[in-house]
Structure 1
Amino acid sequence: MNEAAGIVSARDGYIARMADRTLAADLVSWPAVMITGPRAVGKTTTAAKHAEAALRLDRPEDASIVRDDPDAAITVGPFPLLLDEWQHTPEVLGAVKRAVDADQRPGRYIVTGSARNDLIAGAWPGTGRFLDIRMWPLTGRELFGDASQPSLFDRWDSPDRFEVPADPPDVLGYLRLALSGGFPGALRAADDQQRERWMRSFVDVTTTHDLEEFSAGRGRPRSPIRFRRYLQSYALHTAGVVPDSALIEAADLDRKTALGYHDILDAQRLVVDVPAWRSNRLRRLTSTPKRYVCDSGVGAWLAQIDFDAARRDPDARGRLFDTYVAAQLRAEAESAKVPVHLHHLRSQRGEHEIDVIAEFGFRVAAFEIKSASAPSAKDARHLIWLRDSLPPDQFAGGVILHTGRHRRWIDRDIEAVPIAALWGQRRASASA
């Protein structure tokens, strides 16, 4: 596979997203759907593909109609009606609440915009009325495979749940993919210099304009410089199991300020704290979350890791691959029909550690992420330990995701699988 192929295709038209299938299904059964996710991840573009009409509330003419009479403005249709950038006219949410309470017909409203409702939950009118769809940066499956296929976890019991492409990347190809990340704007960049400029602009807007929006009405003004420093501390610790104190110390902030910044970054979906997995059968497991920046490209830019640095530094390369692959699994979990909860596992003394635990129903699948191209039984030792510690019907399988070309079994219920098998082959029906 040419690892640049999907990046080039990002310039041409709409790339089908895994969220398309979820959004289409939700509109059949629910009156209002809200799409959340990081800035510039493609929420509006995807929503517009499913809408018959739109009110772009960042446009003065559309916003003024809503401010004059929000209830009347959203009843005209046609439906589904996209209400984009709701935070510019928050009163529109109350109008949607009243419309949904009065008429439960499905497929009427798609709402996009800021995720800051997470910080104003006490006054949030959408509770029980919106289905929430979280969008994440573009994945390998959306760029290189077929986004219309069911989630990995929905087809887990199929023998072809992993399908290795004919020409998967090598380790340096994966490194370039991880450094590019999945934000559409970064992928449209013509070269590394233009991508670097996009990253800088994205972080600047996030740590100034967005910080001001999220801080509005919440006491004293917040410092963009300190906020950026805290975000950088996450990037330096991405894919690490670290306590709050380590992030706070790295950012040189007091605890109250740092935790306030954490709440904002979490609401912006820029950072993801993966909780520790707990089991009654396993004792002495840590409860500290695993920290991620949501996108490996942005994380690498914040941590000042470029291609040469990652190529020479195995720790930086490992964190980068872990962050990249975890983002692929996060999107798979989000698009699954069966509820999937992602965790990590680490014993208190560090003798056992598993990168990602996926819990769906009673079953547990475990993933290790390796930058090596030919993982061995030694690399599977933590997966074997977990398999032997759980009831056979609970352990759904262990997977070592690696940078090689071949899928093979390493031990009973444990296999080595190329990372590219997460996106499989591109089907003729896949959108470019």
Structure 2
Amino acid sequence: MESFERPHVARLVRELTDESVPPLIVAVTGPRQSGKTTLVRQALRRLRGMGHRTRYIALDDPGQPRWSSLSGSDTTVALPPPPRDTEWLVSVWRQARRDAEAYRRGLVLVLDEIQHVKDWSSVVKGLWDADRREDHPLKVVVLGSAAWRLLTGMGDSLAGRFMSFPVRHWSLREMVEAFDVSLDEYVFFGGYPGAIRYAEDLRAWRSCVAHSIIAPTIDRDILDLTRVDRPSAMCQLVDMAPEYSGQVVTYEHLAGRLRSGGSPTTLAHYLDLLSDAGIMTRLSKYAGSAVRRAASNPKLLVLNPGLMTALSGYSFDEARNDRTFWGRIVETAVGAHLHNTLEAAMHLAYWRDDPHEVDFVLFQGPRVLGVEVKSGRQRRALPGLAAFKKRFPKAETLLVGGRSGVRTNQVPLNEFLAEPASHWLSGKGWGPA
């Protein structure tokens, strides 16, 4: 694991060394335990090896900040713990600016968990604009636990001044390369690099997911920074993840299951917050119309299968032996993979026209792909895909896993999870049955 680097590292290095375009503040965002800090530190190590100067400051560190001095990368300056306020931020920035001027290649300043500074965005706007007017060679990277939180903090004040650099849950390919997990282990434990080391101790693994991922995501990444009128309702939504992931439900049904209730608008808002935080999301029904999609009942989808299994109480063997539950985990893994690898202007939905249904619909512009997931080995007809193709003749269809008794494009589960959504939407990598 120590030597493993996600592709993000090379991309971040390129962004910070590309002199052909004006610099922007790089906003590295993503769910907890997705490895944001690790990959940024790896990028800084590469930059130092290339002769660049860097400075990393964790704003959630209760101790003093530590950074490399200009005289050598192994030398640190220890200061008393300062208050993390705007005055402190201005002081840190100005010192970094002076140090950047003293070195011909400038300096890269990293501020981890920037949202801990109240009203940071307005201060950064003024400092960044001054840097551009004076042509200071200072480059800045900010990190946050989820895209929604950083963007909420920015509002419009940093529009045109930052570049979004999303970091999402780990893919099957990354977990295999870093930890040598099997396909079934990935489906059960999900793409959490920090939690996978507890895979041999199920109690410790569940505790890690519950207390190091779910709890701080809700308590610190959502409730501390966003107005939530019924926090207990949001927690109950997460608790229902094992039961409802992959299911189409009505908001009225969800409200009836919650002790504190909630209107459809409120529940939709909570699900959107949980989606931005990388926990679970809601998919709309595909109907070839944005208006009709917005008005449909949601299909709930957990965004990392490890969240679903950790909350389920199933052991690894119990989950695999329960064909119904395992099928739902596999469907969740496929849907989460598609959602986590979506690109700009790409959308994910489901389709239903009773009695027919297609698990997922991936679309971008004129391209539409209906995806059905089967975890069993038996050959079955696929009336859902056939009905979908009849309703939308220009759409492509794809079966993931299992085998089909009808002619359709199909791909094994492990191969599907190895490529991003754009790969499958383009029609690459599959063949007829």
Normalised by the size of structure 1, how large is the TM-score? 0.72
Deviation at 1:197, TM superposition (A): 2.6
1:189 to 160, 181, 198: 198
What CA RMSD, in Å, does the superposition of the two structures yield over aligned residues?
3.8
Deviation at 1:418, TM superposition (A): 0.6
Aligned mates of 1:94, 1:230 — CA distance in 2: 34
Deviation track 1:20-44 (CA, whole Å, cap 9, x = no partner) reads: 4654565545512222222222111
Asked if the contact 1:286/1:345 (under 8 Å) is kept, the reply is no
Deviation at 1:341, TM superposition (A): 1.8
Deviation at 1:320, TM superposition (A): 0.8
Counterpart residue identity of residue 64, structure 1: P
Give 1:259-298 correspondences, 5 Å limit.
261-262=270-271, 264-279=273-288, 287-298=296-307
Give 1:73-222 correspondences, 5 Å limit.
73-75=92-94, 76=96, 77=100, 78-102=106-130, 108-115=139-146, 117=149, 120=152, 123=155, 125-144=157-176, 174-189=183-198, 191-193=200-202, 194-202=204-212, 203-210=214-221, 212-214=223-225, 218=227
Q: Does 1:64 align with 2:82?
A: yes
Which has more radius of gyration? 2
Aligned mates of 1:79, 1:352 — CA distance in 2: 58
Paired position in structure 2 for 1:44: 37
Q: Does 1:323 align with 2:329?
A: no
Paired position in structure 2 for 1:238: 245
Deviation track 1:341-400 (CA, whole Å, cap 9, x = no partner) reads: 2222222xx223222222123211221111113544x13x333333344354xx3x3221
Change (3 A) 1:53 1:197: same
Aligned mates of 1:420, 1:128 — CA distance in 2: 39
1:247 to 251, 254, 261: 254
Change (3 A) 1:23 1:339: farther
Deviation at 1:421, TM superposition (A): 0.8
Counterpart residue identity of residue 418, structure 1: P
Aligned mates of 1:18, 1:93 — CA distance in 2: 28
Paired position in structure 2 for 1:398: 397
- SS of equivalent to 2:82: helix
Aligned mates of 2:293, 2:141 — CA distance in 1: 45
1:351 to 348, 355, 358: 355
Asked if the contact 1:35/1:133 (under 8 Å) is kept, the reply is yes
Asked if the contact 1:344/1:356 (under 8 Å) is kept, the reply is yes
Deviation at 1:92, TM superposition (A): 3.7
Asked if the contact 1:230/1:248 (under 8 Å) is kept, the reply is no
User: More displaced, 29-38 or 134-143?
Assistant: 29-38
Aligned mates of 1:31, 1:332 — CA distance in 2: 24
- SS of equivalent to 2:57: strand
Paired position in structure 1 for 2:410: 416
Deviation track 1:303-343 (CA, whole Å, cap 9, x = no partner) reads: 32333442343332222111112222223324xxx642222
User: More displaced, 53-62 or 111-120?
Assistant: 111-120
Deviation track 1:126-179 (CA, whole Å, cap 9, x = no partner) reads: 344323233222111222369xxxxxxxxxxxxxxxxxxxxx99xxx6443222
Asked if the contact 2:246/2:301 (under 8 Å) is kept, the reply is yes
Deviation at 1:84, TM superposition (A): 0.5
Aligned length: 371
Counterpart residue identity of residue 240, structure 2: S
- SS of equivalent to 2:110: strand
Change (3 A) 1:387 1:232: same
Asked if the contact 2:282/2:301 (under 8 Å) is kept, the reply is yes
Unaligned 5+ runs, structure 1: 1-11, 147-167, 426-432
- SS of equivalent to 1:241: coil
Paired position in structure 2 for 1:156: none
User: More displaced, 260-269 or 45-54?
Assistant: 260-269
Q: Does 1:386 align with 2:388?
A: yes
Paired position in structure 1 for 2:315: 306
- SS of equivalent to 1:185: coil
Change (3 A) 1:339 1:100: farther
- SS of equivalent to 1:329: helix
Greater RCO, CA 8 A, separation 6+: 1
Normalised by the size of structure 2, how large is the TM-score? 0.72
- SS of equivalent to 1:214: coil
Aligned mates of 1:420, 1:209 — CA distance in 2: 35
Paired position in structure 2 for 1:3: none
Asked if the contact 2:113/2:143 (under 8 Å) is kept, the reply is yes
Asked if the contact 2:303/2:340 (under 8 Å) is kept, the reply is no
Unaligned 5+ runs, structure 2: 45-53, 66-80, 101-105, 420-433
Asked if the contact 2:172/2:183 (under 8 Å) is kept, the reply is no
Q: Percent of aligned pairs with the same residue?
A: 25
Change (3 A) 1:238 1:49: same
Aligned mates of 1:373, 1:55 — CA distance in 2: 51
Change (3 A) 1:422 1:25: farther
Asked if the contact 1:145/1:423 (under 8 Å) is kept, the reply is no
